[in-house]
Amino acid sequence: MRLVRWLVTTTLCVVAGTSNAGAASPRRDAPHNVILVVIDGLRGRIVTPETAPEIAKLRDAGSYFPNSHSVFPTFTTANASALATGHQLGDTGDFSNTIYTARPITSAGSSVTPFLENDSVLGELDATFGGNYLDEMTVLEAARRAGYGTAAIGKLGPALIQDHLARDGATTIVLDDTTGQDGGIPITTDIAAKLTAAGLPLATPSRGANGKSGDFRTPGTTSANVAQQDFFIDATTRVVLPTLKARNHPFAMVFWSRDPDGTQHNQGDSLNRLTPGINGPSTFAAIRNADGDLGKLRAALGRLGLAATTDIIVTSDHGFSTISKQSGSSPAAKQTYADVPPGFLPPGFLALDLAKALDLAKALDLPIFDPEAHDSRLVEGAHPSRGNALLGPDPTHPRLVVAANGGSDLLYLPTHDRGLAASTIEALLAQDYVSGIFVDDALGAFPGTLPLSAINLKGHAATPTPSIVVNFRSASSGCATPTNCQVEVADSNLQQGQGMHGSFGRGDTQNFTAAVGPDFRNRFVDPAPVSNVDLGRTMLALLGLTPPSRGVLTGRVIQEATPGQKSPASRSQILRSKPAANGLRTVLRYQQIGPVRYLDAGGFPGRTLGLDPAR
Ligand SMILES: [Zn+2]
């Protein structure tokens, strides 16, 4: 009932074009506690009573959302921003884990293409972009302003994003990888004393063997992230939850489990081979690790007498895929490198291939500079160290910027040169690893491409909007549930056979979502599409909060999960671009409820999992 009443209130606000300046709306009954558990990189269909008994138990007892969606690009900080604000990426500006900031970020080694899973980088981004790089108030900020207890615990980056302006450690309790280290968010003397009393350290343990990614000759890890996550869950159950309970006021908490993501990326089960890929024993140990943490969390809620008054939403930021480094068309794959097996795509292949193609076809001499190596010029036979690249004669005024991310990359044209955009698109269309090109509406329409506005990326963002989003090829490696065995080309320092995400294949967009608690229906399976953006809105509704909105690209409250409500009608749609000269069309498969668009898959038919090859 609470959800429904809130929905009516906010709908009226939106229609009137206004929103409350304050964080809380008056309410008669006290809201319940809300806990969001994000199990990073958990594929939507991988959960069974055998692989993840605690997650399966919650799913089967409460509300399950099998038609769920990550936002594209399917990366962690991007989805963290959607969950944190209830806005699409076009508004939050957190377009991927690595973005172009146009200004050097000191805490990222003065790179203009910083990796955002870093608390210092997030703080500097806030300072660079008007005091709040997301340009929207987060759920946890709205909650603490309204007097709720708040906490964000777990993986470095996405944990702090939940309340990134609360860097004092007192207004919101933050525990992540860098707690107790230089650059970490501090903890209060009260929390420190309680950690010590509980026999826990004051600094987060390292990932140990789990952090080892190996190299092209050495397999990566075979260990799940056990020691570090044991600390996070023990601190949560023995210190944070009792502290929040003792305040005698409802609370909102986010627990972000790095597993299975970190293990799936780094696993050494499949070096240079596509099978088992991310379906080897290390992955399943990592899923089991995260599953055990959920079990401990629920047991603690029971012990503390909070189970009946606490809603738990379990989601994942994105699905996952096995990395392929194969291409028949890439000139970069034909070169030799010191750290790449012969014939495989090197990190930074997109930058290398674009520079070569623009030189050959258009006589554009675009030397490559490496933003992760102090803008040094790339020497013959080398690849960009992290895949990122600044192209053009002057690295301080690049003509083209590649922000490499994995299953998709971002391209920026700082001069907004339409001719260079056309040449770049022509070069992209010639590569067999590309599947789908999305172009900033401001640059105009190009055959073979769809506009950023079609995929929720054109909004109110404070950070630079990418000029072109390039999606890479994906396919099933052959299994009964194709989203469980997606293989994708990825621009990454990891090896073929290790794990990545970020693509527009359904294997990456299909995340896991379920919820249980006093505000959710029991044994309910929702046929309607939902997304991580919706979860942000739904958390606000559960907490009775109406923070101000700057952008309009918001999700919807999942009101059908409330007892007595019906699922909304949705439409399935296909959007096709005009064909390029070589016949390729970017195609988007999506679902729509009212103004909210849910992205199933995008790319060139036959090159993206989830797109009908014939259409
Ligand atoms: Zn990841």
Mean pLDDT of 245-264: 97
For residue 317, report the distance from its CA to the centre of ligand 1, in Å.
9
Ligand 1 centroid to Cα of residue 273, in Å, is: 19
- Between the CA of 255 and the centroid of ligand 1 the distance, in Å, is 16
With respect to residue 408, please indicate whether it lies within any of the assigned structural domains: yes
Determine the pLDDT at residue 614. Answer: 77
Indicate whether 188 belongs to any domain.
Answer: no
CB 451 within 8 A of CB 439: yes
Return the pLDDT at 6. Answer: 40
Q: How far is the CA of 265 from the centre of ligand 1 (A)?
A: 7
Q: Output the average pLDDT for the chain.
A: 94
Q: How far is the CA of 491 from the centre of ligand 1 (A)?
A: 13
CA of 147 from ligand 1 middle (Å) equals: 33
264 Cα to the center of ligand 1, angstroms: 8
Residue 171 has pLDDT above 50, yes or no: yes
CA 279 / ligand 1 centre spacing (Å): 16
Q: What is the pLDDT of residues 416-447, one digit of tens each?
A: 999 999 999 999 999 999 999 999 999 999 99
pLDDT mean over 215-235: 98
Residue 275 backbone dihedrals phi, psi, to 5 degrees? -125, 140
Q: Are 407 and 321 in contact (CB under 8 A)?
A: yes
184 located within any domain: no
Distance separating the N- and C-terminal Cα atoms of the chain: 43
User: 435 C-alpha to center of ligand 1: Å?
Assistant: 20
Output the pLDDT for position 615: 64
CA of 76 from ligand 1 middle (Å) equals 6
pLDDT value at 18 more than 60? no
Strand partners, 369: 377, 390
Q: Which letter does DSSP use for residue 33 in this model?
A: E
Distance 489 CA to ligand 1 centre (A): 15
DSSP 98: B
Residue 607 reports pLDDT greater than 80: yes
> Distance, CA 259 to ligand 1 centroid (Å)?
9
Cα-to-centroid distance, 406 and ligand 1 (Å): 9
Please indicate, yes or no, if residue 103 is contained in any of the structural domains.
no
pLDDT at 605 over 80: yes
Distance 503 CA to ligand 1 centre (A): 12
Cα of 75 vs centre of ligand 1, distance in Å, is: 7
Query: Is 435 within the bounds of a domain?
Result: yes
Using alpha carbons, select from 556, 557, 560, 561 the residue that is nearest to residue 520.
561
Query: Is residue 87 within 8 Å of residue 398, measured between CB atoms?
Result: no
CA of 531 to the centre of ligand 1 (A): 18
Of 345, 327, 329, the C-alpha closest to 337 is 345
**Per-residue tokens: 108:** 């990222």
Q: How far, in Å, from the CA of 287 to the mean position of ligand 1? A: 14
242 vs 615, residue with greater confidence:
242
User: What is the CA(266)–ligand 1 centre distance, in A?
Assistant: 10
Instruction: Give the model confidence (pLDDT) of 356-395 as tens digits.
Output: 999 988 888 899 999 999 999 999 899 999 999 999 999 9
Name the residue range of residue 449's domain.
323-493
**What distance in angstroms lies between residue 404's CA and the mean position of ligand 1's atoms?**
13
378 Cα: distance to centroid of ligand 1 (angstroms): 27
For ligand 1, the distance from its centroid to the CA atom of residue 402, given in whole angstroms, is 19
| C-alpha 239 – ligand 1 centre gap (Å) | 28
User: Is the model's pTM score more than 0.85?
Assistant: yes
Q: Which of 505, 67, 100 is nearest to 323 (CA)?
A: 505
Ligand 1 center from residue 136 Cα (angstroms): 24
Residue 115 CA to ligand 1 centre (angstroms) = 12
Distance from the alpha carbon of residue 486 to the mean position of ligand 1, in angstroms? 15
CA of 508 to the centre of ligand 1 (A): 11
Q: How far apart are the CA of 426 and the centre of ligand 1, in A?
A: 30
Predicted confidence at residue 19, as pLDDT, reads 36
pLDDT of residue 508: 98
Percent of the chain with pLDDT over 90: 92
Q: How many CA atoms lie within 13 A of 96 on its CB side?
A: 30
Report pLDDT for 612: 86
What is the count of structural domains for the chain? 1
| CA of 492 relative to ligand 1 center, distance in Å | 11
Task: For residue 4, report the distance from its CA to the centre of ligand 1, in Å.
Answer: 35
Spatial strand order in the sheet of 376-377: 376-377, 368-370, 389-391, 400-403, 408-412, 468-472, 434-439, 450-451
Nearest Cα to 509, choosing from 306, 317, 319? 319
Which of 330, 345, 611, 317 is CA-nearest to residue 486?
A: 611
H helix runs in 62-188, sequence order? 76-85, 89-92, 119-128, 139-145, 158-161
Tell me, in angstroms, the distance from the centre of ligand 1 to residue 408's CA.
13
Q: How far is the CA of 586 from the centre of ligand 1 (A)?
A: 25
pLDDT at 235 over 90: yes
Over range 13-28, report the average pLDDT: 35
487 Cα to the center of ligand 1, angstroms? 15
Position 487 in a domain: yes
Q: How far is the CA of 96 from the centre of ligand 1 (A)?
A: 11
Q: How much is the average pLDDT of 68-73?
A: 98
Q: Is residue 130 part of a domain?
A: no
Distance, CA 522 to ligand 1 centroid (Å)?
31
Whole-angstrom Cα distance, residue 162 to residue 521?
A: 26
Instruction: Report how far ligand 1's centroid is from the alpha carbon of 2 (Å).
Output: 35
**Model confidence at 72: pLDDT above 70:** yes
The residue type found at 122 is L
Token pair recorded at residue 23: 């964080």
| Residue 320 CA, ligand 1 centroid: distance in Å | 8
Taken in order 482, 484, 485, 487, is the CA torsion positive or negative? positive
- For residue 466, the CA-to-ligand 1 centroid distance in Å is 21
**Polymer length in residues for the chain:** 615
CA 117 to ligand 1 centroid distance, Å:
10
pLDDT, tens digit (0-9, with 9 covering 90-100), for 271-302: 999 999 999 999 999 999 999 999 999 999 99
Distance 585 CA to ligand 1 centre (A): 29
For residue 34, the CA-to-ligand 1 centroid distance in Å is 25
| Per-residue pLDDT at 7 | 40
Residue 351, phi-psi category: left (phi > 0), alpha (psi -120 to 50), beta (remainder): alpha
Q: How far is the CA of 40 from the centre of ligand 1 (A)?
A: 7
